Amino acid sequence: MTPQARLSAAAQILDSIAQGRQPAEAVLKAWGQQNRYAGSKDRRAIADRVYKVLRARARLSWAMGGRQDGRALVIGSLSLIDGMPLAEIEALHSGEGYGPGPLSNRERARLMAETGAPPAWVAAGLPDFVVEDFKTTFGDRWAEEAEGLMAPRAPIDLRVNTRKADREAVRAELAEAGLQAEPTPLSPVGLRLPSEPPPNIQATEAFKAGRIEIQDEGSQLVCALAGAEPGMTVVDYCAGGGGKTLGLAQAMAGQGTLIAGDVVQKRLDNIRPRLERAGVEAELRLLGQNGGGMEDLNGQADLVFVDAPCSGSGTWRRRPEDAWRLTAEEVQRLHALQVRILGQAARLVRPGGRLIYVTCSMLSAENEASADAFEAAHPEFTPVPLDNPNARRARLRLSPASTNTDGFFAALYERTA
């Protein structure tokens, strides 16, 4: 493909991402499958351009006069990110072959305009309401947190399944396979790989044999904080893809009862092969939206893990496109859902048992505000101090800027009445 044709493809892919709900990665993959003439270098260059634009979307759109279409954003990226002179941009937009059409007068004017300093949310690369939330939560550090969240090249973390192997043995095994992993600094069972070149984890023997799973270090840490132990009755209330289920099962060392519930059957179905690969067991249960399906466990569980549905904003460094799909209204809907789910899950905890609330969100509306609402409605639960240097007031916040993990929040409670 010519450089021009790659730009056209990137613009087209950006439009598809904006119009749908699919992750950028999936849209790029589908495009590659539908356009077999594109070689690996072409696909790489196109993906680089797409991610460059997604991470700088606010700034590019602002510089292009508020336009949000792929063409305008790509043109803006050539100028603002690549620092390309106008003449070169014009040359790439000759309209010949499969390249993009010539610049309009308005586009040319935008590229030459003196734009001045952008507003704070534009500079941060995040929607306005998110920046407001960050200012409340992080105070002076908000811009640093925003930058960390939208920064490229998040590492790939693995959780070593200590039921099957130890960390050093897996590290050596991966090195044999050409993957140089480092121990994660915070999780004792984690290994970290650079994101470039993208490692094919699923193809490794260690993955196929269940010795590793892909799981961010932050996710490993919140799992460990829950304090699951052999012999306990543990409920993973929002089991989703089963990442936490596997971590909890590992901590329980095959002893006790682990029940993983979710309202989506397909998600539960996806957990089964992961459990088998890891050599651990859990009972999978389909729940009703109103909490039905766990009545037999009322007041019985030693530990209930609530990894609540959330904006996923803690993972925006991996999925920058999601930042532009989230609205303030959706955050409010999620907050209400989180408080409702916490109330349902709390019923299962036995006196003296524990409840942990976890999100992969960076927003106080889904973190502190949801925990506050739960505490106000449930005085029978007492916050438990967390054994982690990043925890304060029995609550933990992890983030790309502070712990070099995805963004996570956790609050731990004990049922004291």
Ligand X SMILES: C[S@@+](CC[C@H](N)C(=O)[O-])C[C@H]1O[C@@H](n2cnc3c(N)ncnc32)[C@H](O)[C@@H]1O
> Residues 283, 289, 293, 299: is their CA dihedral positive or negative?
positive
Residue closer to ligand X by CB (options 100, 314) is 314
Residue 260 and residue 241 in contact, taking contact as beta carbons nearer than 8 Å: no
As measured in angstroms, the least distance from the Cβ of 282 to ligand X is 12
Which residues does 3 contact at the CB level (< 8 Å), separation at least 6? 45, 92
As measured in angstroms, the least distance from the Cβ of 242 to ligand X is 6
As measured in angstroms, the least distance from the Cβ of 309 to ligand X is 4
Residue closer to ligand X by CB (options 200, 289) is 289
Q: Which of 385, 337, 386, 388 is nearest to 361 (CA)?
A: 337
Could you say which of 223, 238, 310, 360 is catalytic? 360
What is the rounded CA–CA span in Å between residue 222 and residue 159? 13
Q: Which of 251, 198, 200 is nearest to 223 (CA)?
A: 251
Q: Residues 28, 34, 39, CA angle at the centre, nearest 5°?
A: 70
Which residues does 40 contact at the CB level (< 8 Å), separation at least 6? none
Which residues inside 295-334 make contact with ligand X, applying CB under 6 A?
307, 309
CA atoms in the 13 A half-sphere facing the CB of 197: 6
Residue closer to ligand X by CB (options 14, 238) is 238
DSSP-assigned letters across all residues of 207-244: HHTTSEEE--HHHHHHHHHT---TT-EEEETT-TTSHH
Name the residue number minimizing CB distance to ligand X.
240
Stretch that binds ligand X, among 33-41, 52-60, 110-118, 263-271 (CB under 6 A): 263-271
Task: Write out the binding residues for S-adenosyl-L-methionine.
Answer: 262, 307
Residue 360 catalytic?
Answer: yes
- Compute how many residues bind ligand X; rule: CB under 6 A: 17
Of the candidate residues 24, 54, 63, 263, the single one contacting ligand X (CB under 6 A): 263
Residue closer to ligand X by CB (options 84, 337) is 337
What is the rounded CA–CA span in Å between residue 352 and residue 97? 71
**Per-state percent for the chain, helix, strand, coil, to nearest 5:** 50, 15, 35
As measured in angstroms, the least distance from the Cβ of 291 to ligand X is 7
Q: Which two tokens stand for residue 82?
A: 């690549």
Stretch that binds ligand X, among 20-28, 258-266, 386-394, 398-406 (CB under 6 A): 258-266
As measured in angstroms, the least distance from the Cβ of 130 to ligand X is 18
Per-residue x/- track, 345-374, ligand X (CB under 6 A): ------------------------------
Residue 52 and residue 153 in contact, taking contact as beta carbons nearer than 8 Å: no
As measured in angstroms, the least distance from the Cβ of 306 to ligand X is 8
Residue closer to ligand X by CB (options 184, 219) is 219
Of the candidate residues 1, 10, 341, 365, the single one contacting ligand X (CB under 6 A): 341
Which residues does 408 contact at the CB level (< 8 Å), separation at least 6? 218, 219, 221, 222, 314, 358, 359, 360, 396, 397, 398, 399
Residue closer to ligand X by CB (options 309, 400) is 309
What is the rounded CA–CA span in Å between residue 292 and residue 237? 12
Of the candidate residues 264, 283, 333, 336, the single one contacting ligand X (CB under 6 A): 264
- Looking up tokens 């029940």 gives 259
Which residues inside 265-294 make contact with ligand X, applying CB under 6 A?
267, 287, 289
Which residues inside 193-252 make contact with ligand X, applying CB under 6 A?
237-244
Which sequence positions are flagged as catalytic?
Answer: 360
Residues lying near ligand X in the complex (CB under 6 A) are found at 237-244, 262-264, 267, 287, 289, 307, 309, 341
